[in-house]
Amino acid sequence: MFGNILFLVSALFSVLGAVGVVVTKNIMHACVYLLMSLIGVAGLYLTLGADFVAATQLVVYVGGVVILMVFAVMLTGGADSQKSNRFGIEKTPMMGSVGTYVAGGISAILASYIVIYRLLPKIFEAEPVNSTMAFDKTVEKIGMLLVSDHVLAFEISSVLLLGALVGAAVIARPKRN
């Protein structure tokens, strides 16, 4: 029962957050809606039993990317995007032609049909998941695989990250005359 409730709440957070990002005109509100959507995706990972991926989703995306976006918006003056341009024409946040709106509307109608008439009856017909069943912890398995079977890939990724760090330091270094 708890797994089903967690799934429904997480799916609701993901969908409402994504719709909020697309619909809102305020860029700070879009960052908050993105945060809501990413937390919902982490909850969906939890319902799948992928605790390591859920924790990584929270740490990397929620903790890093969204905070970086909020700081970037605050430092660059994101509120200026609401003003009019130099010709006096007010900027519109939603860009697109009639063709893109028609394609988006057809896609929305098709997705709604698939969800309502095809998936929902199958969801309600399915047997409930045994909530007493505990998921296997994936963190220990991933850690053991990284230091045993996949140690070469782990070391190559560390060298790649070191190269990216050195490259960033070289690019950020002041130029000498």
Per-residue model confidence (pLDDT) at position 172: 77
Concatenate the DSSP letters of all residues of 47-70 into one string: HTT-HHHHHHIIIIIIIIIIHHHH
> Which of 74, 9, 7, 68 shows the shortest CA–CA distance to 35?
68
Question: How many residues are there in the chain?
Answer: 177
Q: pLDDT > 70: what percent of the chain?
A: 80
pLDDT digits (tens, 9 = 90+) for 108-166: 899 888 878 877 777 667 666 555 555 667 788 888 888 889 889 889 988 998 998 88
The token duo for 177 is: 């005359």
Highest mean pLDDT: which range of 21-25, 38-42, 119-123, 129-133: 38-42
> Which secondary-structure segment (H or E) carries 88?
none
The token duo for 59 is: 């740490």
Q: pLDDT-derived band of residue 83, with 50, 70 and 90 as boundaries?
A: low
The token duo for 124 is: 């309600």
Average pLDDT, the chain: 80
d(CA 12, CA 84): 35
The token duo for 94 is: 């939603």
Q: pLDDT-derived band of residue 6, with 50, 70 and 90 as boundaries?
A: confident
**DSSP-assigned letter for residue 1:** -
